[in-house]
Amino acid sequence: MAAEMMDVSDTEKGSSIASEEVLGDIEEEECCFQDIVLLLEHGISADDIKKLQEIGINTVKGIQMTTKKRLLEIKGYDEVKINKIKEACTKVSLSTGFITAFEVADQRKQVFKLSTGSKSLDKLLGGGIESMSITEVFGEFGTGKTQLSHTLCVTAQMPGCNGYLGGKVVFIDTENTFRPTRLQAIANRFNLDPTTVLHNILYARAYNSEHQYELLRNVAAKFHEEAGVFKLLIIDSIMALFRVDYTGRGEIADRQQKLAQMLSRLKKISEEYNVAVFITNQITADLTHINQPDIKKPVGGNILAHATTTRVSLYKGIDGIRIAKIYGSPDLEENETMFSITSGGIDDVKN
């Protein structure tokens, strides 16, 4: 099933999908999300549907992915109403919740992979950054997390393997390190029109961890509104604001609970809208190795470790080279590779 990305460096000038025309085709092709307004025909009121939309639930699948406990938090919702809504969802989706493994394999065919800009890094990742899952890169300052985020903003707009046509990107910036000038340089490397590339990226600055969570509701609404058009959601970095907002020792449990909610929302978005979610993360000293202060681990603890599908650790090597190591993946072996940061973004190490 593994879809290898095309050799992005071979892209012909003008063959980029970064045009409104092609994005229009994608929209038509993939407009198959079951909107919750369909529930109107099954006795659910417009008012109840509006309340779901207000908390970022726009599709039948979105309701099915949300627990009763969460739905009970909606004003005016009780157990009877929720059961009625869940029943209506089953009628609309005609699904009992079980599908055959063959159908799973069929659904997995929709999964696409985005190139990192480096063929060796793509190979390490089994083809690139995968949709319907969360990929996390972590490492110390200057290891290339933000540069990789910028490169993906551009490569996500280019055609790839398995019929991938490219699409738009949402970038949530928590550290104020998003730089359009970097995107323009990367677009030039791939012979894409820099202005079009910039038009295809929606940017939001998150100012605190609650704001970061709230922005995801807008993201879901946008992905729903322009169904099938967005292919990548980036958060650079996932933990920075949590580390500022929760500083006391006694606040860790609260922080982890809020983090779990955010990651659950991210996971739902990735599966519901078939997008790749790419997050960056920081590292901290690993106190389980108290005598070896050099041993570092990503922040966010087990909550983050369990929520992400693929974790990649980035290191600095000699002569400016960077090293990427797969940290934990359900279907990739632990391995590492080298890459470099260039003016055109992430690239292979040139001999």
> Taking contact as CB under 6 A, which single stretch among the options 33-41, 145-153, 213-221, 291-299 is the one that binds ligand ATP?
145-153
Order of strands across the sheet that contains 310-316 = 201-205, 168-173, 230-236, 276-281, 133-139, 310-316, 322-328, 336-342, 345-347
Q: How far is the CB of 199 from ligand ATP (least distance, A)?
A: 22
In terms of Cβ atoms closer than 10 Å to its own Cβ (0-12, 13-18, 19+), residue 15 is exposed
Cα distances from 113 to residues 211, 213, 309, in angstroms, run 29, 26, 14
* SS3 assignment, position 66: coil
322 binds, among ligand ATP, Mg ion, none (CB under 5 to 8 A by kind): none
Instruction: Measure the CA–CA gap between 221 and 227, rounded to whole angstroms.
Output: 10
In the stretch 327-346, what mask flags binding to ligand ATP with x, by CB under 6 A? Answer: --------------xxx---
Indicate the residue among 281 and 337 with the shorter CB distance to Mg ion: 281
Indicate the residue among 98 and 141 with the shorter CB distance to Mg ion: 141
Instruction: Measure the CA–CA gap between 73 and 265, rounded to whole angstroms.
Output: 16
> Taking contact as CB under 6 A, which single stretch among the options 19-27, 97-105, 135-143, 303-311 is the one that binds ligand ATP?
135-143
Indicate the residue among 142 and 293 with the shorter CB distance to ligand ATP: 142
Q: How far is the CB of 236 from Mg ion (least distance, A)?
A: 6
Size of the site for ligand ATP (CB under 6 A): 12
146 binds Mg ion (CB under 5 A): yes
142 binds ligand ATP (CB under 6 A): yes
145 binds ligand ATP (CB under 6 A): yes
281 binds Mg ion (CB under 5 A): no
> Taking contact as CB under 6 A, which single stretch among the options 144-152, 209-217, 248-256, 263-271 is the one that binds ligand ATP?
144-152
The residues, ordered by sequence, that sit 6+ positions from 264 with a Cβ below 8 Å of its Cβ are 307
270 binds, among Mg ion, ligand ATP, none (CB under 5 to 8 A by kind): none
Element housing 153 (H / E): helix 145-155
Q: Which listed residue (146, 155, 209, 308) binds ligand ATP by CB under 6 A?
A: 146
Helix ranges restricted to H, 190-249: 194-199, 209-225, 240-245
Q: Is the dihedral of CA 65, 202, 304, 160 positive or negative?
A: positive
In terms of Cβ atoms closer than 10 Å to its own Cβ (0-12, 13-18, 19+), residue 291 is exposed
Indicate the residue among 16 and 174 with the shorter CB distance to Mg ion: 174
Q: How far is the CB of 8 from ligand ATP (least distance, A)?
A: 18
Interacting residue ranges for ligand ATP, rule: CB under 6 A:
139, 141-147, 177, 341-343
